[in-house]
Amino acid sequence: MFPTPNLDHITSNDYENVYEPAEDTFLFLDALEKDIEFLKNNINPCICLEIGSGTGCVSTFLGQLLGNGTTLLLCTDINPYATAITVKTAIHNSIHLDAITTNLTSGLLPRLYHNVDILCFNPPYVVTSSEDVNSTNLIERAWAGGIDGREVIDKMLPLVNDLLSSNGVFYLLVISDNKPDEICDRMWNDYKFQSKILASRLAGREKQLILKFWRNQS
């Protein structure tokens, strides 16, 4: 097992503005570790992109798993505090990445069109009102997903088709309230992406899942 990235540089004051790693984060790490041999042997990724990096824990861990130092690790977050902490987390763990303050992938297309080999997204997925999605409170915005917890997820799904390379994979964290079967059906019907549940876990009464998507090659 690979160790979780060292986060002891992050203070309690930092966590007032940045989403603190929790069960969903660690499920994401477990899923990536579970799939690492596939990623190394079948994809040999050149570009990885994480949307909503928060503390940078996921991308830093992915960099540690890949271990080659040649993969370009990119992260985005709408929260400027998060992008700053993401860079610090990477440096603290001897990983190089680039973090950009932007909304989802704004400014990255068309340059990254069909060039992303690994795409990761732990979205705001909690069911809330639509108004909460655009809250000025940075922490609330990190988890508020709107109706069915899907409003941010649904904005991201069309971008996956634009971003992923021919052999690329997309990892998405959802909860059962997000109607994961409906998400998988949409990705197949609209973009011919195959999918499977890579990992799942109960966190209290909340069932969390990591969905894996890839292009249909047939």
For 106-157, the pLDDT digits (tens) are 999 999 999 999 999 999 999 999 999 999 998 999 999 999 999 999 999 9
Nearest-angstrom CA–CA distance, 77 and 103 = 6
Q: Which domains does the chain have, with CATH numbers?
A: 14-215 (3.40.50.150)
Nearest to 79 by CA among 19, 21, 123: 19
Walk across the sheet containing 116-121 and list its strands: 98-101, 72-77, 47-51, 116-121, 164-175, 206-215, 193-203
- pTM over cut 0.75: yes
For residue 171, what are the β-bridge partners?
120, 212
